[in-house]
Structure 1
């Protein structure tokens, strides 16, 4: 009797452009903007919005490189697949993939601790228990299914962005203008203030880290050739507009000295508001941090799945749950590591290195695209960018990476 072997279960292509944009915004416009504005203002002073624009310019070149690569190779573990195709070195492929997964896991760990810190005053439950609860709940949602997970993340993203839009409205329309006048937010074209803007741009870069995670769900996207470039570009444009508007509104409403010293800068906009409004915004901040945990968990598990599916990690990480069509072992592994990190390691020190890891990956991804463009003849079945784009991506990432070492 002939035995017919069942084909390995694969991921389901179910994400359309709106869902992918919301996913991208959810992982990009996350907890970072809720805490970074104060630190950015501390470095750049009244020119903090310019720092976000500089960071967006640095990210933009690499974003276009990702737009091409994600249509050439619409698979999980995107960055690892790109580097593998460009350099054809297994060790480099695994290193890049694990670096991307590690950055997501570290970020999710730090954000989990932040979520627990927001929840503790509301519940009275010990923060370590809250942290485990947050991670466990997000793992269950991630296991539920990619469509369900991204829909949940999309709903949370809408709430999260609504909170930022409310900050913009309140800062410009309701709060007393106790901060910096608009005319003082535009810097001269030369002067020592650009050193502060450059240093602040590295902090602002943290707020843009995440758009590249969209490449790691490309295997679950409908028509990736059309969907991926549009979603990546729209995510970057919308995130930049939101960041600049939010930063400007907060600077306009809050005294600069007070803003630069705050770990919860957006809450300062509502200091004169009613307790109900303050509590409502606090709840949105909790939702924002929880969303970051879910999306980073999805990303990291897909990287492990993608590496295993391509033979770079043990095959067990490529195991997909038949019912939900999600990488069950990879997701549980990621959740377990996050739980351990939140309970044992100084996440703040590790998180400071996340941007350097991401910039190093950006450099390698752009170099991989340069090699592919010079080596492989062009075809018509994927999105293409001019060859100058990845060169500019390498230069911009190297410049910001060098700034991070000063």
Structure 2
């Protein structure tokens, strides 16, 4: 009698360029078109200081993720790394925080797309249709995901170049003064950094797809750092442009600050271009987010931290179809009921906890796996903790409750599994 065949596995089809584009696709839509307004509401012009702080914390987290991904080239990202270096409970907290935070990010990206692409009153139905369409794309295979993400990223970068040109050409610049950078105080600046961190979390998509990258020990660390540095550069240029043209108050009040910058130039053709670019950026982020959550869900289901049926991989397309369909259903519900700005705060809460665990896990690694000094991981742990507690209070309260709900779920599930085994 022949032995049963191994279950279908994910395939290593992505190179360095694919991985960088997937990271950029996640970051471009998340931050440029969604995070500047709430960050300006928290800190005014001080969002520039917040952007620097968020970038520093993101760099520490990125180096931790790169070091861990080189040692553990598997699906699941910090869920897998936390289990290996710190134990199953730490891994679960990281994975659960990632999933809940990124489900909120998916809803935020779908709503951002609809705000630019849908006629008034049709935002939620259009956002729901976008989620269904992109879940379908992801289920067709990871190479299609990478190809579409590359097209979207190029379109977004061209759009942002138009925004910068329009800002330079605008006849009136409200601007801001140097003292404005600190006017909101330390708490406001830290809160803006926590909200802007939402924009930098896309490099995690690369690490969560560790089973699908060729030569992962070399490719993943390079792709993570390259994607992050490119994103930091773009965000800095756009942030200065928006604040210079609109000023802090108008930036905070605007639902679409980049479109307002385009309008200030007087070039009539720029607003439609920015709307199309914003819609494309949001779709790119949503596409990569669904892929990343699917891989983490797959890894958690393999370890019985989520229902085992979610671990199925399609035998021909080599993607975790059940996990991605389940994610799509949850995001559809979230799009129907959630608020964009609240989703950003909740997402930041979950993702900062995720990277808190990543930095702890990387700090535990020993030679020959170490690639970066432990000082970066210590700074990352402190930075994540500080930014979490300075997020908007509602996000902190709801986020804490949902994390505790996940802990309770795992505790009960472990007791059931042990009772069955005994």
Identify whether the pair has TM-score above 0.5, normalized to the shorter chain.
yes
Match for residue 335 of structure 2 among 342, 345, 348: 342
Residue equivalent to 2:136 = 140
For the pair 1:353 / 2:346, whether they are aligned, the reply is yes
What is the CA–CA distance in structure 1 between the aligned matches of 2:149 and 2:301, rounded to whole Å?
25
Residue equivalent to 2:396 = none
Partner secondary structure for residue 315 of structure 2: coil
For the pair 1:266 / 2:258, whether they are aligned, the reply is yes
Once the 2 structures are TM-superposed, how far is the Cα of residue 98 of structure 1 from its aligned partner?
2.3
Is the 2:108–2:343 contact (alpha carbons within 8 Å) kept by the matching residues of 1? Answer: no
Match for residue 378 of structure 2 among 385, 388, 391: 391
Once the 2 structures are TM-superposed, how far is the Cα of residue 99 of structure 1 from its aligned partner?
2.0
User: What are the Cα deviations for residues 216-246 of structure 1, in whole angstroms up to 9, with x where unaligned?
Assistant: 0111111111111111111111111101111
For the pair 1:401 / 2:397, whether they are aligned, the reply is no
Is the 2:104–2:346 contact (alpha carbons within 8 Å) kept by the matching residues of 1? Answer: no
User: What are the Cα deviations for residues 135-160 of structure 1, in whole angstroms up to 9, with x where unaligned?
Assistant: 11101110111111111012111111
User: What are the Cα deviations for residues 115-139 of structure 1, in whole angstroms up to 9, with x where unaligned?
Assistant: 2232222xx7833432221111101
Deviates further, 271-280 or 70-79: 271-280
Structure 2: gaps of 5 or more residues: 394-422
Residue equivalent to 2:314 = 321
Q: How does 1:25-64 map to 2 (within 5 A)?
A: 25-64=24-63
User: What are the Cα deviations for residues 78-130 of structure 1, in whole angstroms up to 9, with x where unaligned?
Assistant: 111111012223x4423321221121112112221232232222xx7833432
For the pair 1:246 / 2:238, whether they are aligned, the reply is yes
Distance 1:372 1:112, change over 3 A: same
Deviates further, 315-324 or 56-65: 315-324
Q: How does 1:130-279 map to 2 (within 5 A)?
A: 130-172=126-168, 174-180=169-175, 184-185=177-178, 193-271=185-263, 272-279=265-272
Once the 2 structures are TM-superposed, how far is the Cα of residue 278 of structure 1 from its aligned partner?
1.2
What is the CA–CA distance in structure 2 between the aligned matches of 1:192 and 1:296, rounded to whole Å?
32
Distance 1:349 1:177, change over 3 A: closer
What is the CA–CA distance in structure 1 between the aligned matches of 2:237 and 2:53, rounded to whole Å?
15
| TM-score normalized by the length of structure 2 | 0.86
Structure 1: gaps of 5 or more residues: none
Is the 2:345–2:391 contact (alpha carbons within 8 Å) kept by the matching residues of 1? Answer: no
For the pair 1:307 / 2:300, whether they are aligned, the reply is yes
Partner secondary structure for residue 274 of structure 1: coil
What is the CA–CA distance in structure 2 between the aligned matches of 1:385 and 1:10, rounded to whole Å?
31
Distance 1:345 1:65, change over 3 A: same
Aligned Cα root-mean-square deviation (Å) = 2.4
Is the 1:302–1:327 contact (alpha carbons within 8 Å) kept by the matching residues of 2? Answer: yes
What is the CA–CA distance in structure 2 between the aligned matches of 1:241 and 1:185, rounded to whole Å?
21
User: What are the Cα deviations for residues 5-41 of structure 1, in whole angstroms up to 9, with x where unaligned?
Assistant: 2221111111111111111111112133213223333
| TM-score normalized by the length of structure 1 | 0.89
Deviates further, 226-235 or 250-259: 250-259
What is the CA–CA distance in structure 1 between the aligned matches of 2:124 and 2:273, rounded to whole Å?
24
Distance 1:14 1:383, change over 3 A: farther
